[in-house]
Amino acid sequence: MPIRKTKFSKADIVLAALSPPGGVPHTPVQVQKLLFLVDRNLASLIGGPKFNFQPLHYGPFDLEVYSTLQDLAKRGLVEITRSSQGNWSEYRLTPRGQSSAKDVLSRLDPRAQDYLERASDFVRSLSFIDLISAIYKAYPEMRANSVFQG
């Protein structure tokens, strides 16, 4: 049975990307790098890139990621909390967000579903320094405006 082509919104992709950890939060650097990887590696399966990542202080960055997360939080789909480890936010799906993400995932190509899970595991498995270094190694053009030379 062929996979039908479906157009996905930014919000859909953010929900699907945050879904795999099952409630474990993503830090700002993790969510930025995760969505960058999704845009770079899944564009053909999700209806094109969803963001406009530019090289910034710590690699690929798009402020629109945070706007999308804020919109999802207003809709009760994402919870934004302060990290107990430092002065930054953490992002996780609410139970309603998990349900919405499940719907999005069910409409995604199985290759995209698999990639989202692997990419989420990847960004969460590395320290801040190791994640940025790995992105710079794979995408050297994203080092252009970096304050970090790891």
Percent of the chain with pLDDT over 90: 80
pLDDT-derived band of residue 149, with 50, 70 and 90 as boundaries?
A: low
**Which whole number is the average pLDDT over 15-40?**
91
Say which residues have a Cβ less than 8 Å from residue 80's Cβ, sequence separation at least 6: 69, 70, 73, 89, 90, 91
The residues spanned by each domain of the chain are 10-139
pTM over 0.85: yes
Q: Give residue-wise pLDDT tens across range 46-103.
A: 999 999 999 999 899 999 999 999 999 999 999 999 877 777 899 999 999 999 999 9
Q: Which residue has the higher pLDDT, 87 or 31?
A: 31
Neighbours of 30 (CB within 10 A): 22
CATH for 10-139 is: 1.10.10.10
Calculate the average pLDDT of the chain: 90
